[in-house]
């Protein structure tokens, strides 16, 4: 269910927000929602993992952000061995 929220801002803020939204190809409402979600995500990233539920949320977030496939363990070992042999990080 969606809920309409009224936000009071001054005209200069509204114009700055609207211009930024337009540059990003978004409506003002969509841009404000996006900004709010980004703020929530940033706050969530700073929360410590202190129980099973927070650990599960952390892994769920990682799974939703990850792209591609995880390399095989043998590939990881090759990178580790190359790095140790060269004395440098091989990322």
Per-residue pLDDT of the chain (91 residues; tens, 9 = 90+): 888 989 899 999 999 999 999 999 999 999 999 999 999 888 776 777 888 988 888 888 888 887 888 888 999 899 999 989 887 654 5
Same domain, 42 and 4: yes
- pLDDT in the model for residue 12: 96
Q: Quick one: which of 20, 39, 43 has its CA closest to 31?
A: 20
Three-state DSSP at 55 gives helix
Domain that holds residue 68: 54-91
Euclidean distance between CA atoms 11 and 68, whole angstroms: 44
Euclidean distance between CA atoms 13 and 43, whole angstroms: 23
Q: Which of 46, 66, 82 is a domain's end point? A: 46
Give the total number of structural domains in the chain.
2
Q: Which alpha helices (DSSP H) does 24-51 contain, by range?
A: 28-45
Same domain, 33 and 61: no
- pLDDT in the model for residue 89: 57
Element (H, E) at 4: none
């Amino acid at each position: 269910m969606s809920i309409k929220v009224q936000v009071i801002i001054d005209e200069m803020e509204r114009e700055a927000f609207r211009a930024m939204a337009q540059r990003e190809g978004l409506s003002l409402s969509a841009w404000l929602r996006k900004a709010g979600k980004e703020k929530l995500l940033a706050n969530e990233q700073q929360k410590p993992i202190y129980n099973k539920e927070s650990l599960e949320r952390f892994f769920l977030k990682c799974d939703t952000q990850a792209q591609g496939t995880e390399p095989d363990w043998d590939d990881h070992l090759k990178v580790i061995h190359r790095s140790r042999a060269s004395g440098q990080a091989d990322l």
